[in-house]
Amino acid sequence: MPDKNIIRFSLNNITKKYKSHSVGPINFKIYENEVIALIGKTGCGKTTIAKIIMGLTKYNSGTLLYKQELIDSISLKEFRSQNQMMFQNSLLSVNPLLKIGKIVKEPLLIQKNHKNISERVDELLNIFELSKNILNKYPDEVSGGELQRLVFLRTIILKPEFIILDEPFANLNRDMAIRLIESIKKIRKKSKLGILIITHSLDYAELFADRFLEFPKLLQSEYL
């Protein structure tokens, strides 16, 4: 359940300007341990907001607080170890020349966290209902649904406190989407993982989201 006594992210009048348009001003808070669904039409700025939160896109005005501190004052290494993002196109998120075993273990190796790697991978394969044999395959040798779950597995392998899922149900049929949702629910039972889901699939988000943010209402102060 969300802990509304602890604010993880606070976006205050955040605006991002492009040559042809701008996104914002955006005002909302993300509380600790909650699952938020960010709903809106394609191209409305959902992914821009996610990238701003993750520090991948600079904003032009406003303030972004992380645990009540200006996000620019936070150590990037510390921030990235606690906050992760899963991008929309799974195939573009992985190196097609690497076997899946190396792909999913890579975050642990980069962080020089070599302790219990096999145990952590086995635990997540079980949660995502994936065979251990899949580790010996290449990305183009598995189905779209399997690859989506594998990218999600890699996203949480470092045990982050918060993740952003950008259109996690895109290109999945209903059965695969439901299986992914059930895996997310299992993970949530084992941890206090907070999630921001970017989606236009309200019917899926309703199955596990605590709260919904919707364009264009997101531009109003009611989400403060």
CA 103 to chain centre: 18
Sign of CA dihedral 199, 171, 84, 117: positive
Question: What pLDDT, on a 0 to 100 scale, did the predictor assign at position 168?
Answer: 86
Q: Is 119 exposed, middle or buried (0-12, 13-18, 19+ CB in 10 A)?
A: exposed
Is the pLDDT reported for residue 224 higher than 60? no
Provide mean pLDDT across the span 50-72. Answer: 91
Residue 142, domain member (yes or no): no
Is the pLDDT reported for residue 35 higher than 70? yes
Residue 102, domain member (yes or no): no
Structure tokens at 67: 């645990």
Residue 101, domain member (yes or no): no
Question: What pLDDT, on a 0 to 100 scale, did the predictor assign at position 18?
Answer: 86
Residue 183, domain member (yes or no): yes
Nearest-5° Cα angle at 113, 109 to 115: 115
Residue 213, domain member (yes or no): yes
Region for 52 from its dihedrals, namely left if φ exceeds 0, alpha if ψ lies in -120 to 50, beta otherwise: alpha
pTM of the predicted structure, to 2 decimals: 0.86
Q: How many domains does the structure of the chain reveal?
A: 1
Is the pLDDT reported for residue 148 higher than 70? yes
Rg (CA), the chain: 17
Residue 38, domain member (yes or no): yes
The residue segments making up the domain with residue 168 are: 3-93+147-223
pLDDT band at 223 (very low <50, low <70, confident <90, very high): very low
CATH number assigned to the domain comprising residue 64: 3.40.50.300
The amino acid at 57: T
Average pLDDT taken over every residue of the chain:
84
Residue 84, domain member (yes or no): yes
Residue 177, domain member (yes or no): yes
pLDDT band at 219 (very low <50, low <70, confident <90, very high): low
